[in-house]
Chain A
Amino acid sequence: MSTLLETAPRLTGARQRLAKPELLAPAGSLEKLKFAVHYGADAVYIGGQKYGLRSNADNFSIEQMRQGVAFASRYGAKVFVATNIFAHEEDLPGISDYLKELEDAGIAAIITADPAIVETAQRVAPGLEVHLSTQQSTMNWQAVRFWKEEGLPRVVLARETTMDEIREIKARVGIEIEAFIHGAMCSSVSGRCVLSNHFTDRDSNRGGCCQSCRWKYDLHAEDRSVAEPGQNLFTMSSKDLCMIEHLPALIEAGVDSFKIEGRMKSVHYVASVVNAYRQAIDAYFADPAGYELRREWVEEIGKAANRPLNTGFFFGTPGAAEHIYEPEEKPAPYDFAAVVTDYDAETGIATVQQRSNFKPGMHVEFVGPGGRSFTQAIGELTDADGSRLDAARHPLQAIRLRTDHPVAPYDIMRKKTG
């Protein structure tokens, strides 16, 4: 992490008044939605049971969407639904009814790439905003202008767009621009990859992606392997995007929505990443001239990251250092141990719900929104009935323990991995 910090720019000088961007977080389930919103997302995007690109995620039923919208609205947050497949003929008939259901459930916007869905939404569900998905690979201002003229209020840019290009797009076209700022990336132009179709007969553009870009390939030239024995094989695998060090540049470029990738990621990941970006954005707007990147934000992200990080195309085309050739991905350095469900201020006893094993004597970390955190040596553990436990072994079990500092519901208790 220290190398990341050392390369961080220190932007100084007078700044104009800028609008605060939306922090948009992924929510692969109702629980993740609650954490994302509680930790500071202004909006979340989810997948429904149709027309989304994450067929493996716990996608939301319409009833769960209603619950998600109700929860989010208590925080003034919005819920978007990704309907980002490229439809085939068989997918077309149900689109109208589905979009009307989303509108009726209080969804604020759909994120969509297929013009068949764009057009249907505009016609049958005018209460839904249509945001053009990154799957449309929009990376120039004229294409953005096209979609504005088609009535779309927002375009999610292709991940290939650079910071300078974003600045020009914002200067030339009056439209909301959403950009990915964190998470895993397609190394292809999004949507322009059918490796899964060829390897496994799974349609990547309808949610069947099996991440073939992360597999290992032997590159041959003149019928001989380019790698010497013992050298890493070829892969298309990209490091993950992380723009925590460049928020002032993104804000000043005029990006309206900062998008975090990861509907398949854990509660711990979503909460940690949102927590860090929320603090950074708020710190910038509290005092733009005095803004400085804080080490804790970078560390917070690092605790949940399972791949090395980079800045994608923002400052130029990624090279060798931006790809992962090493054999294995490492697990995130910290793991979700429990979530706080209650805290008794008089006794100092917290009730937590178990998510992975822990026991007395371990050192864990409690984290809450706004960067509250402290290390805790676990003392006595009891169950809900007050019986003493030698360890917290059962998923979702309610456990009581004393904490040195106050905690609150939705605070996360995490432990070092391994």
Chain B
Amino acid sequence: MSAAAIPELLIAAGSAAQAERYIQAGADAVLIGEPRFGMRLPGTIPASELAEAVSRIHAMGAKAYVSVNKLFRNGELPELPDYLRTVSAAGADAIAFGDPAVLLSVREYAPNMPLHWNPDMIATNSAAANYWGRRGAVRAVLARELNEEEIAGFRKGTTLEIQVQVHGATNIYHSHRNLLLSYMEHLGKEASLVDRGPGKGLYLVETERPDLRFPVYEDEGGTHVMSADDICLLEAIPDLVSMGVNSLYVEALLKPEAYNETVLRSYRAALARLAADGGDYAMDPDWLEAIRKLQDPERELSFGFLYKEQVY
């Protein structure tokens, strides 16, 4: 195999200090933002602190992407111009978007800002990616429900960069309803007795599948259900790299910082070995073992959809 480019290792961070720790652990790029604009971020970096966060990330030689990928309502649109100008002035390296409203606003208020098309489950084919590419996107963030063959096909079909999630939980359901609050009301319980936010340990167990725990939480964007397992594609890294995947994303959400740092160190080690040894690459079992030691025993590490065939 010819030496394929070593992809970027990307993670979301909830603060500038956390971003620094993640870069220290091996991340090349960090996704940041605030929940007014981006979905399912592990924390808030307010607009007033964005410039400082970006310069701290840049100072360590890493890239800073800002997530503006939620679905907007009319009443939220007026906040976009100022925010996009702030992101642009802060020197961020790209904006992640899902709603076409953001694309129009970026053209107007942050015209030089590269765009990453990141609409969660619906980024499923290269032709759609190319559509957004012709309208300014430089990267497509692929749906987590694609398998190896589909990722390879997507890669062949587009010249855009492609980003694939390699580790962590995935969102499997997003509603604008406050389903937990509604349920508490239905039960006649004081809703304030249960903290419904991210990382508060709430989970769903489907009656026919008692062994699987699906984390669930509510925030200002509604209700989010997450996968019962954590993707771990560490062993598939050489395949993803040879396919030409440009960015490997680690989902930080609902995980302790130390866990995420360990994950980054393992993936960084794999990428470094791949860069050094190319075709002679051999995975070190310690990389996976280090992650396993910190893995929540209730959550399996899985290959996600990488080797699955789905029907419909």
Contact = CB atoms under 8 A, between A and B. Distances in A.
B173 interface: yes
Contacts of B180: 219
Contacts of A137: 71
Interface string B52-96: 000000000000000000011111110000000000000000000
Nearest to B204: A217
* Most chain B beta-carbon neighbours within 10 Å: one of A89, A120, A222: A89
A245 B233 CA distance: 52
Contact of A322 (B103, B120, B131, B182): B182
Interface stretch (B43-51, B145-153, B243-251, B281-289): B145-153
A201 B172 contact: no
Contact of A145 (B73, B104, B185): B104
Interface in A296-346: 313, 317-320, 322-323, 325
A195 B310 contact: no
Contacts of B178: 317, 319
B124 A139 contact: no
A115 interface: yes
A395 B173 CA distance: 41
Interface residues of B, number: 74
Nearest to B208: A215
A366 interface: no
A189 B99 CA distance: 13
A87 B126 CA distance: 9
B105 to A, nearest CB: 7
Interface string B175-188: 11111111111110
A189 B174 contact: yes
B182 A319 contact: yes
B100 interface: yes
Contact of B100 (A146, A198, A215): A146
> Chain B's interface: helix, strand, loop or mixed, by majority?
mixed
Interface in B194-215: 194, 200-209, 213-214
A285 B9 CA distance: 60
Contact of A218 (B125, B126, B205, B228): B205
A408 B42 CA distance: 64
A91 B125 contact: yes
Interface string A222-258: 1100111001111010100000000000000000000
B157 interface: yes
Nearest to A158: B71
B310 A197 contact: yes
Interface residues of A, number: 78
Given A140-B99, A141-B74, A191 B186 contact: no
B216 interface: yes
B185 A320 contact: yes
Contacts of B222: 189
Interface string A131-173: 0000101111111011100000000001010000100110000
B201 A222 contact: yes
Given A205-B122, A217-B207, A116 B128 contact: yes
A219 B186 contact: no
A215 B209 CA distance: 11
* Most chain A beta-carbon neighbours within 10 Å: one of B76, B187, B209: B187
A323 B182 contact: yes
* Most chain B beta-carbon neighbours within 10 Å: one of A199, A202, A325: A199
A356 interface: no
B175 A236 contact: yes
Contacts of A88: 124-125, 146, 150
Kindly list the 3 A-B residue pairs having the minimum CB-CB distance in the complex, ordered from nearest: A208-B312, A89-B153, A116-B127
9 contacts: A89-B154, A143-B100, A146-B103, A160-B176, A189-B176, A197-B172, A220-B203, A228-B187, A317-B178
Interface of B: 71-77, 99-101, 103-105, 120-122, 124-128, 131-132, 143-146, 149-150, 153-154, 157, 172-187, 189, 194, 200-209, 213-214, 216, 222-223, 225, 227-228, 305, 308-312
Interface of A: 55, 86-92, 113-116, 118-120, 135, 137-143, 145-147, 158, 160, 165, 168-169, 187-189, 191-195, 197-199, 201-208, 212-213, 215-223, 226-228, 231-234, 236, 238, 313, 317-320, 322-323, 325
